[in-house]
Amino acid sequence: MANKRLSMRKIREVLRLCLGSGLSARQAAQSCDVARGTVKNILDRAERAGLTWPLPEDLDDAAIENRLFPSTVPLAVERRDMPSFEYLRKELAKKHVTLQLLWHEYREKNPEGYQYSQFCLRYRAWLKTLDIALRQDYKAGEKLFVDYAGDTIPIHDPAGKVVPAYLFVATLGASNYTYVEAVLSRELPSWIGSHVHAFEFMGSVPEIIVPDNVKVGVTHPCRYEPDLNPTYQDMARHYRTVVIPTRVKKPKDKAKVEASVLIAERWIIAALRNYTFFSLEELNRVIREKLEDFNARPLQKLRMSRRELFETIDQPAMKPLPERRYEYAEWEKHKANIDYHVEVDHHYYSVPYQLKGHDLDVRITGTTVEILFKGQRIASHARSYLPGRHTTLSSHMPESHKRYLEWTPSRIISWAEKSGPSTGEMVKEIMERRPHPEQGFRSCLGIIRLGRRYGQERLETACTRALFMKVYSYKSVESILKNNLDGAELPSERRSVPVAHENIRGNAYYK
């Protein structure tokens, strides 16, 4: 007599105890009052069916039983020349292809073949025999599922400290082609960098990236309108793709990524259990070797490897890589100061002066600072790492400030010399006597403007007197002009009147 199958209530309890609570088969057997072999049989079947704990909410007892104990009676597909299920699944991955279209093509070749309902029934029954990671139908090149594995791999650094390495996993929906890499951090730069490496590994870009609401990528999870990190969005725009996180409390959305992570843990983390790594580079080198083997291994029931499926299904439908790699950028919000500059890392960058006081978005890379107002770029600067300094574009300045840019020592001296050499010498003396020439610019320009009020000739004479008196300032020159001292003779210009004396020889004496 055949052994009676356990009730679904007990089967669920076995799965909960072993998969959810981590009990051993012996402990679960004792708790449920069943044989240990029965528990092991259930766990083996659950593994083959791709079941994990907690069980998907949409699976009732009948569906779970069907997965754990699939019918052993083969479908009579040959009787009416049903096309191969592998072929149907491969074709369905292509854009705009439906099961109804494939049925019409089938009936054209086999007029006596199955009706549409039976055709679909047999195909869906075959789908249930696949691993959960393969079961859902995805369009070619459409979705890339990304997440971190729960387990880590230890790295022994030179100081003897053990550092955990996290596993980033990316899997294409249609072909299950997978990319895996180890990182030392799950912060934003590593998250973005792993995406870039995944695209380059595949040599192409999917239409949609599907993260599992990872905090670093999704700042506020929401079933309807999740908020994405601006850097994550920026990267997606660069690669002309979009990010659509899995919906909150929707287990079906997560099935692919969770199954992919589980497979990566089994075939990569478990395969490296006896290795000792001393650097991230060494670990990733070994992961790449395991990954090549993993993608080349034929899939059960599909008779093709992930790589073969990728090359025939996903890759032709994916977008090409852009000409240049994405440069990591961080986003900050700033308000333009009254001097129409924003501060980034203690350096100041200009924006159009009309935007002073406005809230702005700032995109910061290692080489560039871009400033946006209401989504439009209004300034772009080469990034400077000099604290306390300013980077200013003349086009951002009001007209009154632009004129200041024309002030240089040589130009000011040239302007002054139009009034005469003494005026040129005066402004030169003023600038030379200041710690920095720019400190004398306003004084010099003030002296030059005195020529407009008093005339260049009088200004030149006044500067000559000031130089003679060794007074080098705007106020001194202005005072000379105000008091009309520029018309008075200099002491050296006064003629000496000969003193009449009998002992003084005249000119005639030497004749």
Q: How many domains does the chain have?
A: 5
Mean pLDDT score of the chain: 81
In a domain, 325, yes or no: no
* H runs (alpha helix) in 217-367: 230-238, 251-264, 280-296, 306-309, 315-317
In a domain, 507, yes or no: no
Mean pLDDT, rounded, for 428-453: 81
| CATH code: domain of residue 152 | 3.30.420.10
Task: For residues 415 and 450, state if they share a domain.
Answer: yes
Domain span including residue 440: 406-493
Domain check: are 389 and 417 in the same one?
A: no
CA distances from 89 to 33, 84, 120, 302, 309 (A): 43, 9, 12, 9, 11
pLDDT of residue 481: 93
Residues 95 and 174 in one domain: no
The whole-number average pLDDT for the span 205-210 is 92
Q: Are 369 and 450 members of one domain?
A: no
Give the strands of the sheet with 347-350, arranged side by side. 341-344, 347-350, 390-391
Whether residue 499 is contained in a domain is answered as: no
pLDDT at site 154 = 93
Domain end position, chosen among 129, 156, 171: 129
Predicted confidence (pLDDT) at residue 129 exceeds the cutoff of 70: no
Q: Are residues 166 and 275 in the same domain?
A: yes
pLDDT band at 3 (very low <50, low <70, confident <90, very high): low
**Which residue, 205, 390, 183, is CA-closest to 314?**
205
In DSSP notation, 143-205 reads: EEEEEEEEEEEEEE-TTS-EEEEEEEEEEETTT--EEEEEES--SHHHHHHHHHHHHHHHTSB
Render 467-504 in DSSP notation, one character per residue: HHHT--SHHHHHHHHHTTGGGSPPGGGSPPPPPP-TTS
**Reported pTM:** 0.53
Asked if residue 262 is part of any domain, the answer here is: yes
Pairing outcome for strands 227-228 and 162-172: unpaired
Query: Does 412 lie in the same domain as 395?
Result: no
Confidence tier at 285 by pLDDT (50, 70, 90) = very high
Query: Do the domain assignments include residue 368?
Result: yes
Q: Which of 77-81, 164-168, 273-277 bottoms out in mean pLDDT, i.e. has the lowest?
A: 77-81
294 and 200 in a common domain: yes
Q: Which residue has the tokens 């309108």?
A: 225
Assess whether 162 and 193 both reside in one domain.
yes
Copy the structure tokens of residue 438: 């720019």
The reported pLDDT for the residue numbered 507 is 41
Q: Which of 317, 349, 367 is the last residue of a domain?
A: 317
Q: In which band, very low, low, confident or very high, does the pLDDT at 508 lie, cut at 50, 70 and 90?
A: very low
Beta bridge partner(s), residue 488: none
Residue 500 lies in a domain: no
301 pLDDT band, cuts 50/70/90, is low
Could you tell me the two tokens for 91? Answer: 């074709």
Q: How large is the C-alpha radius of gyration of the chain? A: 41
Would 45 be classed as within a structural domain? yes
Amino acid at 64: I
| Average pLDDT for 425-429 | 93
Helices 441-454 and 456-469 cross at an angle (nearest 10°) of 130
Q: Using CA atoms, how far apart are residues 127 and 122, in angstroms rounded to an integer?
A: 9
Whether 95 and 176 share a structural domain: no
What is the phi/psi pair of residue 268, to 5°? -120, -60
- Report yes or no on 338 lying in a domain: yes
455: left (phi over 0), alpha (psi -120 to 50) or beta: left
Q: What is the pLDDT of residue 4?
A: 64
Domain match, 203 and 312 both: yes
State whether 288 and 435 are in the same domain. no
Q: Higher model confidence: residue 413 or residue 134?
A: 413
pLDDT tens per residue, range 87-115 = 787 777 776 678 888 887 888 788 878 88
31: amino acid identity, one letter: S
Strand, coil or helix: what is 361? strand
Model confidence over 239-282: pLDDT tens digits?
999 888 876 655 555 666 677 788 778 788 888 888 899 999 99
pLDDT of residue 436: 56
pLDDT of residue 215: 61
| One domain, residues 83 and 52 | no
